[in-house]
Structures are given as structure tokens and as C-alpha cells.
Amino acid sequence: MPVLSLRESAQKMGLLRKHRGRLLLTTRGRRLRTDPVGLWWHVAERTPLMSPDPCETQAGLTLLIAVAAGLTGDLDVTIARTLHAIGWMSDDGSPITGGVAGHAAWDTSAALRRLDALPGTPYRRDERPTPGGITFTRAALRAWP
């Protein structure tokens, strides 16, 4: 699953494509392969990963804001409270739980973990963003459309 998640995020970021069952670098991916600063900005500009579900995109943005602010603790609860405050709710009308919010922000959370912006595993509840993670998420928010 981690390899699938990495591949899918690289495809969503325009770095990889599939052609006849093979993974290939895109033109941009090929160019950025030797440009670490350019790659860093390319990834920042495409984080959080876009989703057809606006709740997932907003959950990812909320996670970026929380990490950029250096918030610690259970970030899923912070995301849930924020989503509820902007009008999202569960199917039965109840507030979104931390578990649902964590699932909605999963792709962005996984990308931040791969970048070492959030250390540990996705199931840790006491999260502390790294200094590099704070810098990266601030850049991602500045670059957000």
C-alpha cells in the first residue's frame, strides 16, 4: 500500500505517468530529476493533493495550516473541528469525528509523512511537525491557487 500511495501521489503531481502498463517519468519529472529545489517547489505547489471530493481537499488544506502553525497533538481532531466549523457534517447530521477527518486528509498526511514533515506513523495521536515540515507547509500554502 505505501508504494501504491507513493505512485498515485507522484502521478497526481504530474511526475509519473502510466503507458502500456509501465511507469514513465513525465517531461516535467525528467527535468526535475536533477533539480532538487525545483522538485521541492513543484511538490509544494501541488500539496494538498487535489481530490474530486471537496471535503478531502479542504481537510488537506486544514492539515497544511495546522502543520504550518506548528500545532501539536491530535491533528485529526483539529481538522474535524475546522471542517465542522465551515459546514461539513456526517451523513446523519452529526459533527465529523477525528477518524473521519483523518481519513479525509489521508493523502495529504501520507505525502507529508513521506517528506518527513510529520514523523511517525499515521496512527500516532501526538504529532509534532518537524521544522522542515513547517517550512514546507508554509511554502505549499503560499503557492496554493
Q: Could you tell me how far CA 94 lies from the centroid of its own chain? A: 25
**CB of 84 closer than 8 Å to CB of 137:** no
According to the model, what pLDDT value does residue 40 have?
95
The rounded distance, in Å, linking the Cα atoms of 17 and 79 is: 31
**pLDDT exceeds cutoff 70 at 43:** yes
* Beta-carbon contacts of residue 23 (< 8 Å; ≥ 6 apart): 7, 16, 17
Domain definitions of the chain by residue range: 2-45, 54-143
- To the question of pTM greater than 0.85 for the whole model, the response is yes
- What average pLDDT does this structure show over 83-95? 95
Extended beta strands in 1-145, E state: 16-19, 22-25
pLDDT of amino acid 142: 95
pLDDT for the residue 123: 65
Confidence label for 73 from pLDDT (cuts 50, 70 and 90): confident
The model's confidence at residue 126, banded by pLDDT at 50, 70 and 90, is: low
For position 30, what pLDDT does the model report? 96
pLDDT at 81 over 80: yes
- Domain over 54-143 is classified CATH 1.10.10: yes
Q: Residue 36 — pLDDT band, cuts 50, 70, 90?
A: very high
DSSP result, 60-100: HHHHHHHHHTT--B-HHHHHHHHHHHTT---TTSPPPPHHH
**pLDDT of the residue at 136:** 97
- Give the per-residue pLDDT at 52: 93
CB distance 44 to 67 below 8 Å? no
